[in-house]
Amino acid sequence: MRLSCWPSLSSSRMAVKLNLLLPLFCCVALLVTPNDGSLLRSSRNRTMSAKPFKVLITHPEVPQSGIDLLKENCELVQVQSLPPSRAELLQKIKGVDGVFWGGHDALNAEVLDAAGPQLKSISTMSAGIDYVDLEEVKRRKIPLGHTPTVLNTAVADLAVGLLIAAGRRFHEARRKIDTDNWENYHLNWLLGQDVRDSVIGFFGFGGIGQAIAKRLSGFDIDQVLYTTRRRIDRETEKELNAKKVEFDELLAKSDFVVIASPLTPATQGIFNATAFNKMKKTAVLVNIARGKIVNQDDLYEALKSNRIFAAGLDVVDPEPLPPNNKLLALDNVVILPHIGSATTRTRSDMATIAAHNVLRGLAGERMLSPAY
Ligand code: DGY
């Protein structure tokens, strides 16, 4: 039974092409689906029965764009509790064909066992999938999708905001007002770091890192350095004035270090005391990736002792960060509660892509953005 609106891609050559064209496919999906839906309607006409598949949506607040797409062809069940209760999820997932994973709760063997062997398609509504037991999903050969790319610009905008807020001491400055310490009679009061002429170092330089670099090019920066496993294409390097360097060189030369890599066993805790000791004393650390990439106790010491100048964090460990966490007592750290992709449009786009992923998985076709 064919369900998806996308053509079948059987040959590996086509699959490679799809990888290259993924951002374009995402845009096409976004353009076609909400306004028109004709492709989906034609695929629906091709199905024998109206609702051949049952799909669980694991969160009550999934944007309507995703739900509207899925409900054209699928019977939907949705977790209603908020925060979503594991017990409700485990009960409602029984016997479903597809899952739209709407939060960051552990997607593991417990969930897959509860669903049953008929489960054939899952998509998260996130770029990062560190909360997924990927090996377990792969072992069961269940296609898994996620939603990179569509959140790049929203996260990049936020990263630039954090970089400036930390470098220019927004948090400390606001505290001065709150505590009646507006001491502008000092000539060198609250002096911060310039973005102009600075070296920006990216740990991880995929779509989000590159979107940040693109934005910062408008701030007259000196150079972009990046540390990744593989060199990016020469044209993008040239466009962004970017150079691949080893981790130690990145740390030593960067005025702003931006963490934009996935959390993996290799990146977990890599920003530790040893790393901070290699950074400039004037350096600002920005993390928009995952909290666990940073050893937070070591970061606390580095900030408290002014071993580095400041940090801007959209991600921390754990999340939520308890309000009595010692980092929150520091002046030189700006902390946000993981809101990188939190714009109405971005979240709606993420839901659209995730729904397409689920539908394509159900149809036995390659997902728009497969996670493996
Ligand atoms: C992601 O999608 O991974 C972002 O961190 C937002 O959750």
Report how far ligand 1's centroid is from the alpha carbon of 341 (Å). Answer: 6
> 59, 146, 171, 338: which is the annotated catalytic residue?
338
Residue 146 structure tokens: 């996620």
pLDDT tens digits along 63-91: 999 999 999 999 999 999 999 999 999 99
Report how far ligand 1's centroid is from the alpha carbon of 151 (Å). Answer: 8
pLDDT tens digits along 106-122: 999 999 999 999 999 99
Q: What is the pLDDT of residue 50?
A: 65
Q: What is the pLDDT of residue 49?
A: 53
Give one DSSP letter per residue of 7-38, joined into a string: PP--SHHHHHHHHHTHHHHHHHHHHHHHHT-H
Ligand 1 pocket by Cβ (under 6 Å): 126-128, 151, 340-341
Torsion of CA 289, 345, 18, 8, to 10 degrees: 130
Q: What is the pLDDT of residue 145?
A: 98
Examine the residue annotation and report whether 104 is marked as an active-site residue of this protein: no
Averaged over 34-45, what is the pLDDT?
Answer: 37
Nearest CA to ligand 1 atom 2: 126
Domain covering 152-335, topology: Rossmann fold (3.40.50)
Q: What is the pLDDT of residue 51?
A: 81
Atom of ligand 1 nearest to the CA of 124: 2
How many Å apart are CA 223 and CA 243, to the nearest integer? Answer: 8
Report how far ligand 1's centroid is from the alpha carbon of 152 (Å). Answer: 10
Best mutation site among 124, 152, 155 for ligand 1, i.e. most ligand atoms within 8 A of its Cβ?
A: 155
Give one DSSP letter per residue of 267-318, joined into a string: TTT-BSHHHHHHS-TT-EEEE-S-GGGB-HHHHHHHHHTTSSSEEEES--SS
* Structure-model confidence comparison of residues 160 and 13, the more confident one: 160
Atom of ligand 1 nearest to the CA of 129: 3
CATH of domain 12-148+345-362: 3.40.50.720
Say if strands 199-203 and 256-259 run parallel, antiparallel, or are unpaired.
parallel
Question: 101 pLDDT exceeds 80?
Answer: yes
Question: 20 pLDDT exceeds 70?
Answer: no
Q: State the chain's mean pLDDT as an integer.
A: 90
How many Å apart are CA 134 and CA 152, to the nearest integer? Answer: 23
Question: 23 pLDDT exceeds 50?
Answer: no
Give the full edge-to-edge strand order of the sheet including 144-145.
Answer: 74-78, 53-57, 98-101, 121-124, 144-145
Q: In this prediction, what percent of the chain has a pLDDT beyond 90?
A: 86
Question: Which segments of the chain are extended strands (E)?
Answer: 53-57, 74-78, 98-101, 121-124, 144-145, 199-203, 223-227, 242-244, 256-259, 284-287, 310-313, 333-335
Residue 198 structure tokens: 């600075």
Q: With H, G, I as helix, E, B as strand and everything else as coil, classify residue 134.
A: helix
Which pLDDT band holds residue 134 (cuts at 50, 70, 90)? Answer: very high
Q: Which residues contact 175 (CB under 8 A, 6 or more apart)?
A: 181, 331
Best mutation site among 59, 126, 353 for ligand 1, i.e. most ligand atoms within 8 A of its Cβ?
A: 126
Report how far ligand 1's centroid is from the alpha carbon of 148 (Å). Answer: 8
How many Å apart are CA 330 and CA 322, to the nearest integer? Answer: 14
Q: Which amino acid belongs to residue 246?
A: E
Q: What angle do CA 338, 339, 341 make, to 5 degrees?
A: 120
Question: 313 pLDDT exceeds 80?
Answer: yes
- Sorted by where each begins, the domain ranges of the chain are 12-148+345-362, 152-335
Atom of ligand 1 nearest to the CA of 340: 6
Report how far ligand 1's centroid is from the alpha carbon of 271 (Å). Answer: 20
Which pLDDT band holds residue 21 (cuts at 50, 70, 90)? Answer: very low
Identical fold between 12-148+345-362 and 152-335: yes
Averaged over 256-270, what is the pLDDT?
Answer: 97
How many Å apart are CA 239 and CA 253, to the nearest integer? Answer: 20
Averaged over 283-301, what is the pLDDT?
Answer: 98
